[in-house]
Amino acid sequence: MRLLLVEDDPMIGEAVADALRGEGHGVDWAQDGPSGARALAAGAPYALLLLDLGLPGRDGLQLLADLRARGDRLPVLVMTARDTVGDRIAGLDAGADDYLVKPFDLDELLARVRALLRRASGRAEPLLAHGRLRLDPAKHTAWLGEQPLALSAREFALLQALLEKPDAVLSRAQLEERLYGWNEPVGSNTVEVHIHNLRRKLGERAIRNVRGVGYTLGDLETPD
């Protein structure tokens, strides 16, 4: 998934961005209020906003209020050192979906991110399945039939994107948007390399290339 992180503290920002990238997410990191607002206005397909409240330029609560005033329902996880009950209520009233008080444990942050993404996609059942393929985004595990699969974080994220829209054809640009954030160079054939590796693990016909359009799930019923 492509996530937006708005956090001015360099150490916290880097730790959070690294942890999220380790889960296979593409992370855009804005380090002050105005650049956070610009990133939101630019219309990238973000799945989640991780928002600090005390930000230079524009306060996080204001940014959140503006977002909701536009009718944008993007899930928002507020991360802040403001931990009075009044602050939490203000954050939730302004439209935050969840609230984490600093200092927090990175594993807890990742668990909450997974829960928010799951809730946002409207799936009560966290498992994704297609044919003989099953994916558990919470545990980051995948099976083909009874066989557990060893997938890299990017391969997992790419497969998850395809499984979430099993009837859609996703373009290379759409897949890159899901896999990479700003400042992450995307090699000209990176998506192709991941697809090649996934076919090696899942079978040559598991992912179909629709010429000139993109990629979609293929035959995952019959063993290769």
Report the site for Ca ion in 45-84 (rule: CB under 5 A).
52, 54
Compare residues 52 and 98 and give the one whose CB is closer to Ca ion: 52
Q: Residue 39 Cβ, how far from Ca ion at the closest point, in Å?
A: 16
Output the CA–CA distances (angstroms, integers) from residue 109 to 16, 66, 79, 104, in the order listed: 8, 24, 9, 7
Bridge partners of 215?
A: 170, 209
- Distance separating alpha carbons of residues 82 and 68, to the nearest angstrom: 21
Q: Residue 8 Cβ, how far from Ca ion at the closest point, in Å?
A: 5
Compare residues 54 and 95 and give the one whose CB is closer to Ca ion: 54
- Distance separating alpha carbons of residues 77 and 53, to the nearest angstrom: 11
Compare residues 8 and 97 and give the one whose CB is closer to Ca ion: 8
DSSP conformation letters of 6-71 = E---HHHHHHHHHHHHHTT-EEEEE-SHHHHHHHHHTT---SEEEEESS-SSS-HHHHHHHHHHTT
**How many residues comprise the chain?**
224
Compare residues 54 and 57 and give the one whose CB is closer to Ca ion: 54
String of contacts with Ca ion for each residue 11-50, x by CB under 5 A? ----------------------------------------
- Binding piece for Ca ion, criterion CB under 5 A, among 3-11, 22-30, 84-92, 112-120: 3-11
Compare residues 31 and 216 and give the one whose CB is closer to Ca ion: 31
Any contact of residue 8 with Ca ion (CB under 5 A)? yes
Q: Residue 56 Cβ, how far from Ca ion at the closest point, in Å?
A: 8
Q: Are 198 and 206 in contact (CB under 8 A)?
A: yes
Q: Residue 92 Cβ, how far from Ca ion at the closest point, in Å?
A: 19
Q: Residue 81 Cβ, how far from Ca ion at the closest point, in Å?
A: 7
Helix 60-69, helix 85-93: angle, nearest 10 = 30
Q: Residue 94 Cβ, how far from Ca ion at the closest point, in Å?
A: 16
- Distance separating alpha carbons of residues 18 and 130, to the nearest angstrom: 30
Q: Kindly list the residues in this chain that would bind Ca ion in the complex (CB under 5 A).
A: 8, 52, 54
